[in-house]
Amino acid sequence: MTKTMFEPSITSRPVYGVLSPGVGSAHLFVADGEGADAVCDLFAKAEAAEMKAASHIIYMPGANGCDKTADLQALGVAQFYRAPSFASAQSRLAKVLADAHMGLQIYAAGTEGLMAQVAALAQAAGLPYEAVQMEHRGSLARRVQCVHCKGVTENVRLDPFHCSHCGLSLFVRDHFSRRLAAFQGVNIDAEDPGQVPASVERFK
């Protein structure tokens, strides 16, 4: 399976495709967890063979522990880097983008939070959002910004959940900010303090 089935949503929520070999002078892949499979699937295509010498893969294991480093290493691309987390890879990514020329192809695969953060960095570097290919794999856990304290909570599975910064009970909207690479969390008991419905695991 390459495509996650998503429930119908609102127009701010991104939709994702399937990675395919792009035409360009250089290829930058950023993936987390199961996203490695999307990258491997791309390189399994015949037309991707000649991309390898110009490809750079940055990979981080998933928050769920999924680690497919070996699969990606086996591809034999020009540059492979395993980062322990997205945060730790940010300065490397920024350097790669600062040095890059037009013609660079960017691919992001894995969780929505990872893909959105890659797209946001690419946009900050001056590329159109649409220039980043994205394929969802793995967890549907969400990256959520608390609209009240502005703190971002990673890997949100429950709805409602407690903001990891200010502690308010937040319900998770589908409204999505590409700039923040996050969904929006809004206090659920603002009108009736203390009346918080039981959390359910909505994002697996």
Partner 1 sequence: MSVGAPKIPVVVAEVVEVNALIKRFRFQRRDGAAMPVFSGGSHVVVEMDDHGTRRMNPYSLMSHPADTLGYEISVRRDEVGRGGSLYMHTHVRPGMEMVLSQPVNLFPLDARAKKHLMIAGGIGITPFLAQMAQVEAMGGRFELHYSVRSPALGAYVEHLQEQYGSRVHVYYDELKQQIDLKTLLKSQPLGTHIYVCGPKGMIAWVKATAAAMGWPALAVHSEEFLAPPVGLAFEVQLAASGKSFTVQPNQSLLEAIEAAGVEAPYLCRGGACGQCETDVLRCDGHIEHNDHWLTDAQKASHTKIMPCVSRFRGAALILDR
Partner 2 sequence: MSLDFNVETFRGDYTFKNSAKAIKRFPFPFPEDSYMYSVNMEPHVPGAVGSVFEHLFDVDEHYVAEMRDRAQVLAEDPLRCQTLPHMELAGWDLLELIMESKARDYPQWFELHKDGDNWHWINKPLQIEQKFTFMDASTLPYGPMEYITRQTQGDFTLQDQRDDDLWIEAGMVTTQADWSLDFDIGMSFKQWHAPVPLAHQMNIFDRALKFLLKLQHGAPVRRFNWTMTVDALLDTSPENYPKWGPSKTTMTPETIGHRQHLRVELQTLHRLPRSNAIVFPIRCYLIRFEELVTVPKWARRLHRVVRDIPDELATYKGFLRNKPLMLDYLAQFDDGQPTSPGFGAD
Which residues contact partner 2 (rule: CB under 8 A)? 10-13, 128, 145, 147-148, 150, 168, 173-180, 184, 186-187, 190-193
133 binds partner 1 (CB under 8 A): no
Neighbours of 201 (CB within 10 A): 9
Picked from partner 2, partner 1, none, the partner binding residue 145 (CB below 5 to 8 A depending on kind) is partner 2
- Give the integer Cα–Cα distance in Å for 167 and 72: 38
9 binds partner 1 (CB under 8 A): no
For residues 14 and 112, is the Cβ–Cβ distance under 8 A? yes
Q: Whole-number minimum distance, CB 34 to partner 2, in Å?
A: 27
- Give the integer Cα–Cα distance in Å for 111 and 141: 8
Helix H or strand E segment including 30: strand 26-32
Identify the CA nearest to 136 among candidates 7, 14, 16, 10.
16
Picked from partner 1, partner 2, none, the partner binding residue 190 (CB below 5 to 8 A depending on kind) is partner 2
Q: Which two tokens stand for residue 154?
A: 């990673």
Q: Which two tokens stand for residue 81?
A: 């880097």
125 binds partner 1 (CB under 8 A): yes
Q: Whole-number minimum distance, CB 19 to partner 2, in Å?
A: 23
Picked from partner 2, partner 1, none, the partner binding residue 91 (CB below 5 to 8 A depending on kind) is none
Q: Whole-number minimum distance, CB 202 to partner 2, in Å?
A: 18
